[in-house]
Amino acid sequence: MRAHVFRVLAEKLDRLFKSSHEHNIVVGTERRIVRLHKLEAAGLDILKAAGIELDNRPGLKGADLLAAIRAADGAIVRSGTRITGELLESPGRLRCVVRAGVGVDNIDVPAATRSGVIVMNTPSGNTVSAAEHTIALLLASARHVPAADASMKAGKWDRSKFLGTQVAGKTLGVIGLGRIGREVARRAVGLDMNVVGFDPLVTPEKAAEFGIKAVATRDELLPKCDFLTLHIPLLPDTKDFIGKRELALMPKGARLLNVARGGIVNEQALADALANGHIAGAGLDVFEEEPTPANNPLLKAPNIVLTPHLGASTVEAQEAVAVEAANLLVDFLTRGVIQCAVNMAAVNRAEMDEMRHFVDLARRLGMFQAQTAVGSIRKATLQFR
């Protein structure tokens, strides 16, 4: 009886708003996605086999990008395209955006949520490649590999100049114990390193399964680190997560690695710490501004290994990400299955069919409240059982 009342109310509200609100529902069976970056053949084959029309439009900007987005049911992007709130304000038929990669800081996720657009990422496709690149930078920094290579190619033989440090027996601090952080830890254990980790969302028991000794705070972790690696997203509260104060807490002679996101390490503070010798070395794959401008202080810093965002740049990772992205789109557009979404819980088709009326009712009640309320809405109270 109650469900029937909800459905009737939803139908009445639908008629009330039908004339003034656009719905992101595609009529018919034709489904279309816009591909804004290169996608490997294995992913394209999955989309074509599912009967999804492909609009291949790499490099779009401005009005052309807006038009392509609004004309598609889904979009595939990498880090080079920004899906802004302006693009999502009136999304047309767009229902989902899939980031072929992990980080979604180039997508205005709150704006997508407000417009009813699902944002999904591919968290597992590049995990191994990013972890391996972290270890590569760790070893390159510890043994001065790039500088020694450059010296040799300049016709020199400076053995004494490149005295390094072995990693066995050293302590690696890992901030962020998600997929990549755990894979880095697993490889570090294989190098006979001691691993300590900080992640407020991971219990000490869970961390121990991966050979990691968990600590409760960042400040507790930093003094223990011979090497520090970060595997966290760039968010307002992680901007400059490692700055001047945090670098000072690390032991003199420690080394820092970042294969996660530019901006979580303050670049000027790191350059200063390298210059004064407190930090012995660093390896960075990501930067606050990419491509890196010529005035970036890290370009002239000593004892640093820099790579141009190569963490996922392997043949295997690119193919795995393409396949994962394509499967996410096919599952969502053809079966209504939501996986790896960053702005809503994963919901299978059966659950969505059961919930659909109630989700729609909640949306319409919200619109009704917004239009009838006097003044700004300052507080919302939800009662449920």
Verify whether residue 78 is a known catalytic residue: no
The token duo for 239 is 């901007």
Cβ atoms < 10 Å from Cβ of 184: 29
Q: Which of 31, 144, 255, 261 is catalytic?
A: 261
DSSP secondary structure of 50-96: TT-EEEE-TT--HHHHHHHHHT-SEEEE-TTS-B-HHHHSS-TT--E
Packed helices 127-143 and 179-190: angle between N→C axes, nearest 10 degrees: 50
Exposed/middle/buried for residue 246 (C-beta within 10 Å: 0-12, 13-18, 19+): buried
Look at the chain and count its residues: 385
Q: Decide: 168 and 144 in contact? Cβ < 8 Å.
A: no
Q: Is 357 a catalytic residue?
A: no
Distance between CA atoms of 362 and 107, rounded to whole angstroms?
Answer: 25
Compute the distance between CA of residue 237 and CA of residue 314 in angstroms, rounded to an integer: 31
Q: Is 231 a catalytic residue?
A: no
Distance CA 315, CA 327 (A): 19
For residues 100 and 122, the answer to whether their CB atoms sit within 8 Å is yes
From the list 93, 99, 231, 309, the catalytic residue is 309
Q: Which has the closest alpha carbon to 267: 284, 291, 250?
A: 284
Tell me the CA end-to-end span of the chain in Å, nearest whole number: 17
Contact 92, 82 (CB under 8 A): no
Q: Which of 30, 53, 209, 290 is catalytic?
A: 290
Beta bridge partner(s), residue 281: 255
Q: Tell me phi and psi for residue 116, to 5 degrees.
A: 75, 25
Q: Name the residues annotated as catalytic.
A: 261, 290, 309
